[in-house]
Amino acid sequence: MTYHILIADPLSEEGIYPLRQADGLEITIATDLSKEDLLERIKGFDALLVRSQTQVTREVIEAASNLKIIGRAGVGVDNIDLDAATEHGIIVVNAPDGNTNSAAEHTIAMLTALARKIPQAFNSLKNGEWDRKSFIGVELKNKTLGVIGLGRIGAEVAARAKGQRMNVIAYDPFLTEEKAQKMGIGFGTVGDVLKAADFITIHTPLLKETRHLINEEAFAKMKDGVQIINCARGGIIDEDALYGAIVSGKVAGAALDVFEMEPFVDHPLLTLPEVIATPHLGASTVEAQESVAVDVSQDVVNFFKGEAVRNPVNLPSVSKEVMAKIAPFFDLAEKLGIFLSRMTDEAIEEVNIKYAGELANYDVRALTRNTVKGILKRNLGNHVNDVNAKFLAERFDIKVNEHKTTTGKGFLHLITAEIVTAKFTHRVAGTLLNGLGARIVKVDDYVVDVVPEGHLLFIKHKDQPGAIGRVGTLLAQKDINIATMQVGRSTVGGDAIMMLTIDNRVEQTEIEDLTELEDIYEVKAIDL
Ligand SMILES: NC(=O)C1=CN([C@@H]2O[C@H](COP(=O)(O)OP(=O)(O)OC[C@H]3O[C@@H](n4cnc5c(N)ncnc54)[C@H](O)[C@@H]3O)[C@@H](O)[C@H]2O)C=CC1
Ligand SMILES: O=C(O)CCC(=O)C(=O)O
């Protein structure tokens, strides 16, 4: 099998080495595609790798009939329609760590250049002027740097600013006073930061909540003569409001690496002498580009090898240690789901999955997704996968609940999956037995011991002499060999079940014939 990879933005050649080394991957590099060309070209590709330039819109995702993974060589995924990717079962991976240092260094370079008006002075010099009066700067020492967004990059910037002997005050929804104290920085609300800072640097992602976070109202709260740096994303600062604040003298200077619309050739803000700018170069170093390309390429390789990806954006990430504990249960979890989907033809309203024993100590959301995937597969086939299973369940109004208990009822680990319909509840439990592999150990209230593999028949019948014989005879007449059989009953002469493993898949007509036998209530064929 060959998977086709489209690299649509320039990536470091050294960085894509993992892709070039892997078997079964064919790489096409086509950068600077127009929107129309991308819509046309994307059709045959299994993977798309981008930086920040290519806009992976819903339209692109819907035009991509084979696309399975989108790799973003960098942090911000605001150029990718994540909802559309999730709905279409496409995993999005990024490279969150590879450019932190470069982006932080660029921010500090911008801060210093802004304070000392270096670009303006250089331009003047190049224009043949020796002007030592117009470019009087300010020192950073003892000034206050306000950091909005203290994640990976914000924290690096804060640490470096302290090296410049600046006072740092930060706001981040995840920042506590204790953590701020440990970092040796001040802590406050956005309002506190805006009020206290001589320089303000933004390091949040561009989200609905952060769009125009720095607007007219925010500028009004700032000190007169404040200077602003944005090396995060265009759109976090309202550019019209910034223009007004500079012209009015409220803001003394701005250093911008990012803009609301990129790319552009001219921009009103660049007509102002107080503004210095770079064309989105925060991550443009040899080291960062190699690092993000390696990270994202490695995840694409892992994905096509069927291994866990390290930096999923639209799936919760699972640590290596947890993955090692839960990965052996993936197949069983999915099979419990497939089994349950065959137990009813009614609309499923609720799915309850209970993890008992040691499994209860781990993050098992990936197992839950597998069970939900198994349940939905009956009607959705390959349209459902790990990425969209929960989303599709929600779309069909199926509530998914996860429960945990450390008591394993005699099993080291036990997964019990349950579906609830308007009329019935069905339950199936499975485990992994040391040295023996997966087993289904309970179906509804009946204890069984069945290998979840191949073709199974689940038959509900009356506990009467002859019922089992009649099933065996009819299957023999149809030339269907029984490999294993388990029986269980609730009470003598009451309801009972048979679980058969058979060598061939049964047809619907054969199920109907079995159902018509005396004392047989219900027959379900389950292919695992
Ligand atoms: N100019 C460039 O070339 C680059 C730009 N970036 C941008 O920088 C951003 C930050 O990157 P990282 O630090 O790696 O991300 P991160 O995820 O480590 O940090 C983002 C921080 O922003 C905080 N945040 C979210 N909403 C907030 C709000 N309303 N107010 C205050 N804080 C808020 C989060 O809690 C988080 O701590 C990225 O999203 C990306 O857009 C990243 C790399 C290079
Ligand atoms: O791809 C790039 O160079 C931009 C990096 C960036 O903005 C990011 O990683 O969020």
Would you say residue 429 lies in a domain? yes
Query: Of 51, 106, 280, 413, which residue is the catalytic one?
Result: 280
Q: Are residues 85 and 203 in the same domain?
A: no
> Has residue 359 been placed in a domain?
yes
Q: Report pLDDT for 407.
A: 84
297 Cβ below 6 A of ligand 2: no
- Taking 90 as the threshold, does the pLDDT of residue 221 lie above it? yes
Its pTM surpasses 0.90: no
Both structure tokens of 211: 């769009």
Q: Look at residues 332, 367, 363 and name the one whose alpha carbon lies nearest to residue 351.
A: 367
- Is there a single domain that holds both residue 179 and residue 273? yes
Ligand nearest to the CA of 292: 2
Cβ 99 vs Cβ 283: under 8 Å: yes
Q: Compute, in degrees rounded to 10, the torsion defined by CA atoms 466, 467, 469, 470.
A: 110
Q: Mean per-residue pLDDT for 295-313?
A: 91
Judged by average pLDDT, the poorest of 66-75, 279-288, 374-383, 464-473 is 374-383
- Based on the domain organization, do 297 and 268 belong to the same domain? no
Mutate to test the pocket of ligand 1, among 203, 230, 260 (most ligand atoms within 8 A of CB): 203
What distance in angstroms lies between residue 45's CA and the mean position of ligand 2's atoms?
23
118/240 same-domain check: yes
Most confident of 79-88, 221-230, 318-327, 501-510: 221-230
- 254 and 330 together in one domain: no
pLDDT in tens, 113-169: 999 999 999 999 999 999 999 999 999 999 999 999 999 999 999 999 999 999 999
- Identify the pLDDT of residue 207: 86
Is 188 contained in some domain?
yes
Q: Note whether 178 and 241 are same-domain residues.
A: yes
User: CB burial class (10 A; 0-12, 13-18, 19+) of residue 289?
Assistant: buried
CA distance 178 to 126: 49
pLDDT at 504: 87
Q: Is 287 a catalytic residue?
A: no
Active-site residue, from 72, 88, 106, 233: 233
Distance between CA atoms of 3 and 206, rounded to whole angstroms?
32
Give the pLDDT score at 378. Answer: 87
- The structure tokens 């990425």 sit at 387
Domain holding 237, by residue range, is 100-277
pLDDT above 90 covers a percentage of the chain that reads 84
Q: Which atom of ligand 1 is nearest to the CA of 257?
A: 1
Using the predicted structure, report yes or no on whether residue 316 has a pLDDT greater than 80.
no
On the question of pLDDT at 317 being above 80, the answer is no
Residues 361 and 444 in one domain: yes
Give me the phi and psi of 199, to 5 degrees please: -130, 140
CB 139 within 8 A of CB 115: yes
- pLDDT confidence band for 294 (50 / 70 / 90): very high
Same domain, 383 and 449: yes
We report the CATH number of the domain holding residue 210 as 3.40.50.720
Mean pLDDT of 320-328: 86
Label residue 76 by pLDDT band (50, 70, 90): very high
- pLDDT at site 310: 86
SS3 content of the chain, % helix, strand, coil (to 5): 35, 25, 40
* 427 in catalytic set: no
Are residues 270 and 361 both part of a single domain? Answer: no
Together in a domain, 444 and 468: no
Is position 262 annotated as part of the catalytic site? yes
| pLDDT score, position 175 | 84
Q: Please report whether residue 282 resides in a domain.
A: no
pLDDT at 332: 97
Ligand 1 atom closest to the Cα of residue 100 is: 14
Ligand 2 atom nearest to CA at 284 = 3
Task: Please state, rounded to an integer, the average pLDDT across all residues of the chain.
Answer: 94
State the total domains in the chain: 4
Instruction: Provide the pLDDT for residue 470.
Output: 94
Residue 310 is assigned to a structural domain of this protein: no
Same domain, 432 and 480: no
Q: What CATH number is given to the structural domain containing 432?
A: 3.30.1330.90
Band (pLDDT 50/70/90 cuts) for residue 305 is very high
Structural domain contains residue 311: no
Distance 230 CA to ligand 2 centre (A): 13
Q: Are residues 474 and 517 in the same domain?
A: yes
Residue 208 has a pLDDT of: 85
In a domain, 313, yes or no: no
Q: In the listed set 419, 436, 453, which residue is the last one of a domain according to the structure?
A: 453
pLDDT over 80 at 408, yes or no: no
- Residue 39 inside a domain? The answer is yes
Instruction: Give yes or no for residue 395 having a pLDDT over 90.
Output: no
How many residues are given for the chain? 528
Ligand 2: centre distance to CA 75 (Å): 6
Per-residue confidence band for 435, with pLDDT thresholds at 50, 70 and 90: confident
CA 67, chain centre distance (Å): 16
Ligand 1 centroid, distance to 205 Cα (angstroms): 4
C-alpha span between 298 and 294 (Å, rounded): 6
